[in-house]
A and B are shown apart, each in its own frame.
Chain A
Amino acid sequence: MERLDWSGLPHALPTLWSGMLITLQITVLAIVFGVVFGTLLAALRLSAVKPLVYFARMFVTIFRSFPLVLVLLWFFLLIPQLLQAVLRIPPTTDIRLVSAMVAFALFEAAYYAEIIRAGIQAVPRTQSGAALALGMTYLQAMRLVILPQAFRAMLPLLLTQAIVLFQDTSLVYVIGLADFFRSSTNIGDRDGTAVEMVLFSGLVYFVICGATSGMVKLLQKKGAR
Chain B
Amino acid sequence: MSYHWNWGILLEPVSTGEPSTYLGWLLSGLFNTVAVSLAAWIIALAVGACMGILRTLPDRRLAAIGTAYVVVFRNIPLIVQFFIWYIVLPELLPKALGDWFKSLAPLMQFYSTSVLCLGLFTAARVCEQVRSGLNALPRGQKAAGLALGLTLAQVYRFILLPVGWRIIVPPITSEFLNIFKNSAVASTIGLLELSAQARQLVDFTAQPYESFIAVTLAYGLINLSVMYLMRWLEHKTSLPGYLGAK
Q: Which residues does A use to contact B, with CB under 8 Å? A: 1, 3, 65-70, 73-74, 77, 81, 85, 163, 167-168, 170-171, 173-174, 181, 185, 194-195, 198-199, 201-202, 205-206, 209-210, 213
B114 interface residue, CB < 8 Å from A?
Answer: no
Nearest CB of chain B from residue A169's CB, rounded to whole Å: 8
A185: chain B residues at CB < 8 Å are 83
Query: Which 6 pairs across A and B sit closest by C-beta, in order of nearness?
Result: A67-B184, A209-B75, A167-B77, A69-B184, A67-B181, A170-B77
Closest residue of chain A to B185, judged by CB? A69
In angstroms, Cα B78 to Cα A3, docked, is 25
Beta-carbon contact of A201 and B80 below 8 Å? yes
Interface string of B175-188 (1 = CB under 8 A from A): 00000111111011
In angstroms, Cα B192 to Cα A153, docked, is 43
Beta-carbon contact of B80 and A202 below 8 Å? yes
Interface of B, secondary structure class, is helix
B71 interface residue, CB < 8 Å from A?
Answer: yes
Beta-carbon contact of A66 and B77 below 8 Å? no
Q: Which of B4-12, B50-58, B101-109, B208-216 contacts A (4 or more CB under 8 A)?
A: B208-216
B185: chain A residues at CB < 8 Å are 67, 69, 171
In angstroms, Cα B92 to Cα A195, docked, is 9
Closest residue of chain A to B224, judged by CB? A65
Nearest CB of chain A from residue B30's CB, rounded to whole Å: 13
Subset of 26 A-B contacts with CB under 8 Å: A65-B219, A65-B220, A66-B216, A67-B181, A67-B182, A67-B219, A68-B181, A69-B187, A70-B184, A70-B198, A70-B216, A70-B219, A73-B198, A74-B216, A163-B75, A167-B78, A173-B79, A181-B77, A195-B87, A195-B91, A198-B87, A201-B80, A202-B76, A202-B83, A205-B75, A205-B76
Interface of A, secondary structure class, is helix
In angstroms, Cα B74 to Cα A69, docked, is 19
Beta-carbon contact of A65 and B212 below 8 Å? no
**Which B residues between 187 and 219 are near A, CB-CB below 8 angstroms?**
187-188, 194-195, 198-199, 202, 208-209, 212, 215-216, 219
In angstroms, Cα B81 to Cα A173, docked, is 14
In angstroms, Cα B202 to Cα A74, docked, is 12
In angstroms, Cα B122 to Cα A8, docked, is 34
B92: chain A residues at CB < 8 Å are 1, 195
A73: chain B residues at CB < 8 Å are 195, 198-199, 212
**Which B residues between 44 and 84 are near A, CB-CB below 8 angstroms?**
71-72, 74-81, 83-84
Nearest CB of chain B from residue A79's CB, rounded to whole Å: 13
In angstroms, Cα B79 to Cα A68, docked, is 12
Nearest CB of chain A from residue B22's CB, rounded to whole Å: 17
Closest residue of chain B to A175, judged by CB? B199
Closest residue of chain A to B213, judged by CB? A74
Beta-carbon contact of B84 and A198 below 8 Å? yes
B21 interface residue, CB < 8 Å from A?
Answer: no
Beta-carbon contact of A70 and B215 below 8 Å? yes
Of the listed residues B81, B83, B195, B215, the one surrounded by the most CB atoms of chain A closer than 10 A to its CB is B83
Beta-carbon contact of A198 and B83 below 8 Å? yes
Beta-carbon contact of A168 and B77 below 8 Å? yes
A201: chain B residues at CB < 8 Å are 80
In angstroms, Cα B88 to Cα A210, docked, is 21
Closest residue of chain B to A209, judged by CB? B75
Beta-carbon contact of B219 and A170 below 8 Å? no
Beta-carbon contact of A209 and B76 below 8 Å? yes
A209: chain B residues at CB < 8 Å are 74-76
Beta-carbon contact of A198 and B88 below 8 Å? yes
In angstroms, Cα B202 to Cα A209, docked, is 36
Beta-carbon contact of B195 and A69 below 8 Å? yes
Beta-carbon contact of A171 and B79 below 8 Å? yes
Beta-carbon contact of B84 and A210 below 8 Å? no
B32: chain A residues at CB < 8 Å are none
Beta-carbon contact of B87 and A194 below 8 Å? yes
Inter-chain pairs besides A174-B188, A181-B77, A195-B88, 5 sampled, C-beta below 8 Å: A167-B76, A170-B79, A202-B83, A205-B75, A209-B74
Partner of B84, one of A3, A67, A77, A199: A199
Partner of A202, one of B84, B199, B209, B212: B84
